[in-house]
Each structure stands twice: as structure tokens, then as C-alpha cells.
Amino acid sequence: MGGFDLIWLFEDDPKPQHDDLDWPIGLHSFRLKRGATEILFSIDPLAGEAFVSLFVDGEEVAILGNLRRPGRLSINRGTDHEGLTLWFEDESQEPIQIQTKPSIHVTWYLKAPGVW
């Protein structure tokens, strides 16, 4: 998947952490707001890290940070929804689901300790 799919999904160009780095080098952040809910999705494909922050009315309410070893991203396009799935290299970890349309939702099912 290229950066163009993420630009389409988040309806905006990514903001690089450092101005002199172009996709896919370095950390790039995508931001999207729907109503009172806003999501910040940041990914560094070469370093193998991702971050997700969720805001409501401008206040940060959830952070999924330092997500290590993302394996792949898939864009989900349906007739009534859009989003992405972030899969990990370790297939025993559940993927993170991010819905961007019609509203923003983040879902991540974690396994109980000792089940991994």
C-alpha cells in the first residue's frame, strides 16, 4: 500500500515529523476530524512503528502509542463505511481497526494475559 491510499482515506496529505523526509522515510501523521471526534494516525514504515491518538472536542481521550512491528495496512471500503486495518507482524496479535467514515471509531481486541 502506498501513501496515496492513506491520503485518500484521511482526506489530507501527511505531515512529516521532519520537513526534509518524504514518504515512506520517517514518521508521517495523518489527521481527520468528523464532528467532535478527531483521529491522529502516525506511521513510520521503515522504523516499524505506528501511533494512534483519539480526540473528542479537542481533548485527547485515548492513545495507542509505540505500536511496534506493524506488518501491513489494508484499506476497507464499503458502501457505507471506510477505514483501515493495521495488522502486526506477530499474527497472534489482534489487528487494530480504524473506521474513518461515516464516523471515527477505533477497535482493538486484546487477549487476556497468559493467552498470547
pTM as predicted: 0.85
Closest CA to 64 of 45, 86, 81, 80: 86
Q: For each successive 10 residues of the chain (116 residues), what is the average pLDDT? A: 78 82 79 97 90 97 91 92 94 91 93 66
* pLDDT value of residue 85: 96
* pLDDT value of residue 17: 78
* pLDDT value of residue 23: 66
Which of left, alpha, beta for 104 (phi over 0: left; psi -120 to 50: alpha)?
beta
For residue 14, is the peptide bond before it cis, meaning its omega torsion is within 30 degrees of 0?
no
The domains of the chain are located at 3-108
d(CA 74, CA 60): 25
d(CA 60, CA 113): 27
* pLDDT value of residue 2: 56
* pLDDT value of residue 115: 59
